[in-house]
Structure 1
Amino acid sequence: MERYSDGSYTSSETHSVRTPGQRAQRADTDAAYVPRNEEQGNRIHYGGQSSYPETSGEVHGNERAGGNTAQKKGPEASSMEKTFGKVNRVFCAQRERARATVGSLTNSNGQQTTIYIFFYVACIHLLFVILSSTLSQLDMEGGGCYTFWGFKADCDRVSYTTRTALMGNCAQLRSSLQAGAAFSILSILASAVAVTASWILCCRIHSAASHAQYTNADETGRNDEAANPSSVPGNGENKRPANAASFDTGHLKTVIAVVVVVSLVFELICWTLIACIYTNRYCDDTYFWFSEITYGPGFGLGLTAWLMELIAYVVFLVVV
């Protein structure tokens, strides 16, 4: 051990002997040493380059400016983040709700319900089409009316005053009513085919649902109650799950889709012809009563049936 003049000791095995000049230089170095975190905190950045401030006033000024900027930007940034977070959560919730709705409709339960509703709508549609083809399409003051089959002086009676074929003095009116009568018959036939096909589809999906229910009940009965207590009969496992696979409609859906489209086209032609007669007022110089004519109940039923079938058809294509 060696003793320095200031009273400190050092080992000659681990440290070399320092002269008084070396000790003074080491003291100056220790006094000038600045920790790394303080050094980084005192740096001022200019255009991507860093330098040290020349005076302590610049350091304190920069610290105050940085603190004020942080205080200004802090609340604004946090409020913006909260706003964006709320908007994002709302959109995510709406997206998940839409996915759940579509999934619940496209599963077997929603598919079965849609097919049943479509069958009921098809039956009502057929009834409306039949009534529309027989009732008056254009009503006149005084109790007269026009149907697809001719003119009635008294619309409450069954007999016709003038048949459509006998309206020789107005070819446009005669041809429009005859075309409407022909397409009304075709629409009745197409609607009847749609009702029959939808009834067959209802029978098939009902049979498939019953078979799936009995199959699930048999599988539940074979489960071990000890290993799976939730499989005890009566807990609802024999019911079809909500996310069961969709029923395969096969070619029957295609047949229904084509028949319904044909029926909609025929009905569109029917009520369009009546609308043309009402708008153009054919042979108004001969039939002065056209200035007093209005749409009849047959036209209203035909238009209602067409709109009802169109909405049911779109839902049928999307869900089934």
Structure 2
Amino acid sequence: MRVCVYHIGIRYPHPTSPYFFSSTRYTEITPTRRHELSLFFHHPPPHPTPHSINPIHIPKDTSQPPHITMSALHPLIGAIISIALQFLVFLFVLVATPISQIESVFGPGCFTFFGFKSHCSSLSVDTTGTAAFGCAQRRNNMNGGAVFAIISLFTTLAALVLAVMLLLRIPCMVPFALLFAGLSVFTILISWACVAGAFTIKMCGDRWSNFAMKYGPGFGLMVTAWCLQIANVVVLSIISFG
């Protein structure tokens, strides 16, 4: 008995049949062909699954313009703001260093970083050292403030020069300007903190704040310079990392 099946879309012969149907005639099946057909019918190829089908890759639309990100602050505008702030900081520190830090509420006398003036309007101090400040502890505080005020003059001047060089659009100058500006924040802070300590902490058996004393204009300028320098550091940071 011959069993006929057909090719693709048509039936194939049963593997046990010695013949298969060709498009024109019956043909005897060889042992090799019989084995191939047996494998086909007993182990048919798996049907494709949704996971086995390769997904269609749709190319991205490159016709759209790329997303453009802008810095929070234009470097040129930031440089101009930094120069203005740094100039004010340097000017305030320069003016504040020699003038009154602590002064009398009623009398004309005042204390500077370097000693006591019987008249604050005079250019020279009348008394220096321990004789001026009453004891070594208070003297050391005021002398420490003087040292850091002088250091602040150099650091703020260097920061100002570097800020001016930013107008030349030299990228390597920004980190150095930020470095000196950040250093000035700490030196100015220590300078006015020494004065605040001498005024509020008990030294020489008493506190200056217990007497008719107040902070002088030099102290106010130092604190203002410190605040402006912090703002300048923020501007330089935006230029560097923004």
Partner of residue 300 from structure 1, selected from 207, 217, 220: 220
Is 1:164 paired with 2:129? yes
Q: CA deviation at 1:302?
A: 0.4
Quote the sequence identity (%): 28
Say whether 1:282 aligns with 2:219. Answer: no
2:116 aligns to what SS in structure 1? Answer: strand
Deviations 1:68-115 (A, max 9, x none): xxxxxxxxxxxxxxxxxxxxxxxxxxxxxxx99x83634xxx221111
Aligned to 1:260: 181
Cα distance in 2, alignment partners of residues 290 and 171 from structure 1? 19
After TM superposition, the runs of 4+ consecutive aligned structure 1 residues lying more than 4 A away are: 165-169, 287-290
Q: Match for 1:118 among 82, 89, 101?
A: 82
Provide the rounded CA distance (Å) in 1 between the counterparts of 2:145 and 2:130.
13
Alpha-carbon deviation of 1:319? 3.1
How far has the Cα of 1:271 moved from its partner? Answer: 0.7
Q: CA RMSD in A?
A: 2.3
Per-residue CA deviation, residues 200-230 of structure 1 (Å, 9 max, x unaligned), is: 111x13xxxxxxxxxxxxxxxxxxxxxxxxx
- 1:121-132 equivalences under 5 Å are 121-132=85-96
Match for 1:319 among 235, 239, 242?
239
- TM-score with structure 1 setting the length: 0.50
Q: 8 Å contact 1:137–1:298 — kept in the other structure?
A: yes
How many residue pairs get aligned? The number is 173
Q: Aligned partners of 1:272, 1:174: CA distance in 2, in Å?
A: 14
Q: Hey, what's the Cα distance between the residues in 2 that align with 1:135 and 1:103?
A: 45
Residues 299 and 288 (structure 1 numbering): CA distance in 2 closer, same or farther, change over 3 Å?
Answer: closer
Q: 2:72 aligns with which of 105, 118, 124?
A: 105
Paired position in structure 1 for 2:40: none
Deviation at 1:166, TM superposition (A): 4.4
Matches of residues 153-302 of structure 1 in structure 2 within 5 Å? 153-164=118-129, 166-167=131-132, 169-202=134-167, 204-205=168-169, 249-285=170-206, 290-302=210-222
> Normalised by the size of structure 2, how large is the TM-score?
0.65
- From the superposition, tell whether residues 104 and 157 of structure 1 become closer, same or farther in structure 2 (CA, over 3 Å): same
CA contact (8 A) 1:148 1:164 kept: no
How far is the alpha carbon of 1:276 from its aligned partner? 0.7
- Listed one character per residue, the Cα deviations across residues 141-177 of structure 1 (whole Å, up to 9, x for unaligned) are 3111111010111112122121136448501111011
Q: What is the one-letter code of the residue matched to 2:164?
A: W
Distance in 2, matches of 1:117 and 1:171, equals 42
2:37 corresponds in structure 1 to: none
* SS of residue matched to 1:310: helix
Alignment gaps of 5+ in structure 2:
1-66
**SS of aligned partner of 2:211:** helix
* C-alpha separation in 2, matches of 1:264 and 1:288: 26
In 2: Cα distance, 1:294 partner to 1:189 partner = 28
| Aligned-partner residue type, residue 307 of structure 1 | C
Asked if the contact 1:284/1:290 (under 8 Å) is kept, the reply is no
Amino acid at match of 2:97: S
2:103 aligns with 139
Distance 1:166 1:268 in 2: 26
Contact 2:115 2:133 in 1 (8 A): no
**Aligned letter for 2:114?**
W
Amino acid at match of 1:146: F
Distance 1:168 1:115 in 2: 43
- Name structure 1 gaps, 5 residues minimum: 1-98, 206-248
